[in-house]
Homo-oligomer: A and B are copies of this chain.
Amino acid sequence: MTDTTPREPARRRGSRRKHFVKRTAAGSAPGQLLPDPNAHPTTFRLTTFDAKGTHEHPVASLAEVERVIAEGHLIWLDVMGLRDVDMLQTIARMFEIHPLVREDIVNVHQRAKTEDYGRELYVVAHLMQIQQEFRSEQISIVLGKQFVISFQEIPDDSFAQLRTRLCATGSLRQMSAGHLTYLLLDAILDSYFPAMEQLGDRLEQLEDQVLKREEPAGFAPLHEVRRMLIDMRRTIWPHREMVNSLMRFGDSFLQSETEVYLRDCQDHAVQILDMLETYREIAAGLLELHLSNQANRLNEIMKVLTIIATIFIPLSFIASLYGMNFDREVSPWNMPELGWRYGYITVIGVMALAALALLVWFWRKGWLKDQR
């Protein structure tokens, strides 16, 4: 609504680092929000659920939102972009959100977690974006009796598909805040599977290269995949505990039948962790294979050098020997071989024999076989 300039934040483009922790100033009071100039502009969408079905409300201001809330139906407020700190504070006050929660919503480097603030639950999750590179987006969900508020870091409407389906299926089922939270978490966890598949493809491709001993660009792509695995694992790891806490804390918010659905969510998180672990082990194995390949190649190179040098160095010596200029006229002891009738041929023969003997020796050592 405010600040509609769609410029892509600069920090996000240049840096590879995803571990940055944006913090409020050390020692400042909790609940004070610093506007982040790199954050995306803030917009929101309002969806209500009543007996007649699911409706998306085209509201333009927070005042209209308050009016809809007053009707008493279950609402879902989907806030996208976190730049407009004033608007966020207004929303927070409207739903009586705890100051610490407000801070965590804006500081988008929280671990996934569920926190119980009595009248509301605060859930942090991370949605995986695949564009050129993987990027996790923090989704904060505040869950009350009659409302669910989701805060998306990036305004790309990751829940569009879910919203469409909800509006389409209409009043098929009596929706509750707990079940809506499950649907959001399910959509979030589903975002990891395409990323996992891409990672799996890259790993398989690297494995093929390493097994064929191609490795065009050395070891760097493997390093990159391992970094992604580390990052994804760090991101997904606390989701398991987050869903668990949600099941434990959410007694007054979740219907008992929602629990089997949340258990399914947790299963997905565990499955992703499982696959990440497998990928990590495969990547570690590939690294070792790569190092072994390097050592093999060195051995091969050195074998070529050694074979050539070992054969020709003695021969060269013999040739040099008979290139000496000792004066044969002064003494019969000085290089009489040079005057022999078959001297040259004899020397050539000796050289051939020496080379042959060395070749046989190398052959028996197995050095003439191609290592591949």
6 contacts between A and B (CB under 8 A): A110-B267, A234-B274, A316-B316, A320-B320, A323-B325, A330-B340
- A60 adjacent to chain B (CB < 8 Å): no
Q: In the complex, which residues 262-308 of chain A have their Cβ closer than 8 Å to any Cβ of chain B?
A: 263-264, 267, 270-271, 274-275, 277-279, 281-282, 285-299, 301-306, 308
Residues of B within 8 Å of A251, CB to CB, are none
Known A109-B271, A292-B294; contact A285-B227, beta-carbon cutoff 8 A: yes
Chain A: residues with Cβ within 8 Å of the partner, total of 117
Q: Is the CB of A325 within 8 A of B327?
A: no
Bound Cα distance A36, B271 (Å): 21
Q: Apart from A302-B302, A333-B344, what are 14 other A-B pairs with CB-CB below 8 Å?
A: A15-B204, A20-B197, A218-B293, A223-B285, A223-B288, A223-B289, A234-B274, A295-B295, A305-B305, A313-B316, A316-B316, A325-B338, A326-B338, A331-B341
Please determine whether A289 and B219 come into contact, CB atoms closer than 8 angstroms.
Answer: yes
* Complex: A196 Cα to B17 Cα, angstroms: 12
The CA-CA distance from A26 to B324 in the complex, in Å, is 80
SS class of chain A's interface: helix, strand, loop or mixed? helix
Q: Does A319 contact B (CB under 8 A)?
A: yes
Nearest 7 interchain pairs by C-beta: A319-B320, A27-B161, A26-B190, A322-B324, A305-B306, A323-B323, A331-B341
